[in-house]
Amino acid sequence: MPDLHKRHFLKEADFTRDEWAYLLDLSAELKQAKRERREQQRMAGRNIALIFEKTSTRTRCSFEVAAHDQGAHCTYLDPAGSQLGHKESVADTAQVLGKIYDGIEYRGFGQERVETLARYAGVPVWNGLTNEWHPTQMLADQLTIREYLGRDLDQVSIAYVGDARYNMGNSILVSSALMGSDVRIVAPEEFQPAADVVLQARQLADGSGAQITITDDIAAGVKGADIICTDVWVSMGESKDAWVSRIAALRDYQVNSGLLGLTGNKFVKVMHCLPAYHDLDTTVGREVYEASGMDALEITDEVFQANADIIFDEAGNRMHTIKAVMVATLGD
């Protein structure tokens, strides 16, 4: 059993395949224990700081509930709740919090910020999301895939479709390569992961036997896929001009019934890390409709509702996998 005590959790490539598999197995064990009401608290008396420079639903709730289940206490620092990077450097903040807390979670912007926290804190630091990587989401996704398909990850084909330049595209590519999956990135060339990320994934694939495909050919990219993943195309705070140009570039990559038909797999599953712009029931969805005329973006409501079970189980698994990370790195 790998020893991850006092380790940071910053990005997927920091772990070996065995270490990552151990976190998945521990997640499943903790989930089962909670279901059967036999969970043992392994973080009793611990104190955890949750730093959120970006707002959150699933990540915050997952950390708070996981910590509570395990007997730990949380302090939530919202985007205006600390001096991080404003009146106090990230390095200084890390050293202060490391004297008070037993572990620190960070959700925010550049990866260098969470790496700096880890360098100076002296306690385990966990990446809840950065612009470049989303490792807690990857554990949740892979646990969900194992549950729904009943196969090891090296027997699964995963296609990520859409804007793959940032954390979700990067993390799906690298974590799938780590675990030996057949992983495809299906996106226009300008929306594909950076060359250094692709190189990192190919190096991991050399050891795991993973198959890697990077393509703008939708039909070839999704053919035979077991899992289709996607993520939002637009973000709040961006200009409407950026929305219009991006939607125009990605319109053909919408996950809809036609795209699923191209897989040739009648059992194909669709996953989404949420939030999803699949209808007009959000402020952003309505604004996008006004700007583009599309009543859904990266995924249609028809496909979303047909896959609601796996998508919301994927969201729920954030808590179990985050709990596993904290227990493995901070537990008794």
Contact 90, 98 (CB under 8 A): no
Q: Distances from the Cα of 331 to the Cαs of 138, 322, 325, in angstroms?
A: 21, 13, 9
- Structure confidence by residue, pLDDT tens digits, 118-155: 999 999 999 999 999 999 999 999 999 999 999 999 99
- Cα–Cα distance measured from residue 174 to residue 168, given in angstroms and rounded to the nearest whole number: 10
Contact 228, 255 (CB under 8 A): yes
> How many other CB atoms are found less than 10 A from the CB of residue 41?
15
pTM of the predicted model as reported, rounded to 2 decimal places: 0.97
Q: What is the mean pLDDT of the chain?
A: 96
- pLDDT band for position 241 (cuts 50, 70, 90): confident
- pLDDT band for position 236 (cuts 50, 70, 90): low
Per-residue confidence (pLDDT) for residue 235, from 0 to 100: 76
**Which of 107-111, 155-159, 265-269, 290-294 bottoms out in mean pLDDT, i.e. has the lowest?**
290-294
- Cα–Cα distance measured from residue 261 to residue 191, given in angstroms and rounded to the nearest whole number: 23
Question: Cβ-count burial of 76 within 10 angstroms (0-12 exposed, 13-18 middle, 19+ buried)?
Answer: middle
Residue ranges and CATH numbers for the domains of the chain are 12-134+318-330 (3.40.50.1370), 137-315 (3.40.50.1370)
Mean pLDDT for the stretch of residues 289-310: 95
- Structure confidence by residue, pLDDT tens digits, 13-69: 999 999 999 999 999 999 999 999 999 999 999 999 999 998 899 999 999 999 999
- Integer-rounded Cα Rg, in Å, for the chain is 19
> How many other CB atoms are found less than 10 A from the CB of residue 105?
32
DSSP 109: S
Task: State how beta strands 47-52 and 103-107 pair.
Answer: parallel
Q: Which residues of 15-26 are buried (b: 16+ CB within 10 A; e: fewer)?
A: bebebbbbbbeb
Helix or strand holding residue 183 (H, E): strand 182-186
- Structure confidence by residue, pLDDT tens digits, 77-98: 998 877 787 789 999 999 999 9
- pLDDT band for position 213 (cuts 50, 70, 90): very high
DSSP 62: H
Mean pLDDT for the stretch of residues 177-195: 98
Task: Determine the residue type at 266.
Answer: K
- Cα–Cα distance measured from residue 283 to residue 293, given in angstroms and rounded to the nearest whole number: 15
